Amino acid sequence: MERQTTIKDIALALRISTSTVSRALRDAPDVGIETRKAVKALAEELDYQPNKLALSLLKKQTNTIGIIIPNLDYVLATMVKGIDEVALEAGYTVMVCQSDESFGREMVNTKRLLDSLVDGFIISVSSETMVFDHIKKIQNKKIPLVLFDRVINNISVPKVRLDNVEGGRIATKHLIDQGYKNIALLAGPENLNISNERKEGYLETLKQNKIKVDKNLIIHCDFNQEYAKVATRELLTGKNKPDAIFAISDRLAIGAMTVIKELGLSIPKEIGLVGFNNEPITQLLTPSISSVEMYAFEIGKATAKIFIEMMHSEVDMSEKEIVFKPKLFIRESSNRIRK
């Protein structure tokens, strides 16, 4: 492998000191014009590449954003695409780590990114995260930080998220408007804020419409189709069978649909189904699945814009929050009363 040219090589060739070469490359005024020209010409001839790490340390900036996400499912991958698009235009590179829904891995990823001297963090927490010392450590170091999607409500940092409570409301209200009375909920992990917020919207809407809440119709499970299948089979073979299911993610909704079909039930005549995230696959299935739009790409772009604004502003943005409003896309799986 060919050895890379160093400042020392240029200094030896021109018989000047390495410090003079370094200052000449930076256009320091205390180095003569002719010397600067000679140094730059030889540097170009020898294809000299400056040490980017050394320059980053000098400037105390690497132009790199550390991103930590729980997984790389469709929604989060789309959010990262939005972040990357804005970051690239602003001259930043993103370094993405996934926690795989593990608090331990989230802690390790935070340390590794800190060691990599990233300029700041964009984080969506794992479903296991209930202690936030690693987040507070970033804050204490005065390192820019933005939380997105799965945010921490009692920590003062900029946040970008969906109005998940409203998402739960519009999904449940739609099922009620379609004549469903016994609506089950496939929720996520009990400690996860986005799951609890969607559940909150579901409960509020049932009460507003004077529909009794049956706790046996609410099942918490991981964001996994296999868990959804087990939960749906439990619901549909129990004493109080639901006539509709609201699943708080499309993955759960697809798992539920599989079991509904296996049991020979007609969708939406005998049972309605609504998912959440509006992933492209929901339009391709038979029947197509009604789903709440997540606006993942737009959330990613907004997150990156706040981060870059933080990097170039002295204004305190710790209380800034952008909340996207959800929209329900009605499809065959729940459209029992066609209008």
Quote the CA–CA distance of 262 and 257 in Å, as a whole number. 9
The pLDDT assigned to 48 comes to 79
Q: What are phi and psi of 30, to 5 degrees?
A: -80, 5
The residue-averaged pLDDT of 247-262 equals 97
| Nearest of 187, 222, 190, 219 to residue 201 by alpha carbon | 187
- 212-228 burial, b at 16+ Cβ within 10 Å, e below that, comes to eeeeebbbbbebebebb
Residue type for 82, please? G
Tens of pLDDT, residue by residue over 164-182, are: 999 999 999 999 999 999 9
CB 247 within 8 A of CB 261: no
Q: Do domains 60-162+296-324 and 164-294 have the same CATH topology?
A: yes
The residue-averaged pLDDT of 269-278 equals 97
| Nearest of 215, 291, 306, 222 to residue 257 by alpha carbon | 291
CB 45 within 8 A of CB 287: no
Tens of pLDDT, residue by residue over 295-312, are: 999 999 999 999 999 988
What residues does each domain of the chain span? 7-50, 60-162+296-324, 164-294
Question: Any residues with CB less than 8 A from the CB of 238 and at least 6 apart, and which?
Answer: 216
| Nearest of 50, 51, 87, 47 to residue 67 by alpha carbon | 87
Query: What is the β-pairing status of strands 64-69 and 120-123?
Result: parallel
Average pLDDT taken over every residue of the chain: 92
Q: What are phi and psi of 269, to 5 degrees?
A: -60, -50
Superfamily of domain 60-162+296-324: Response regulator (3.40.50.2300)
The pLDDT assigned to 1 comes to 44
Of the CATH numbers 3.40.50.2300, 3.40.50.720, 2.40.10.10, 3.40.50.300, which one belongs to the domain with range 164-294?
A: 3.40.50.2300
Give CA separation, 157 vs 94, 144, 152, in Å: 20, 9, 9
* pLDDT above 50 for 327: yes
The residue-averaged pLDDT of 249-258 equals 97
Give CA separation, 301 vs 68, 163, 217, in Å: 16, 17, 37
Quote the CA–CA distance of 157 and 45 in Å, as a whole number. 48
Tell me how long the chain is. 339
The residue-averaged pLDDT of 6-17 equals 88
pTM: 0.82
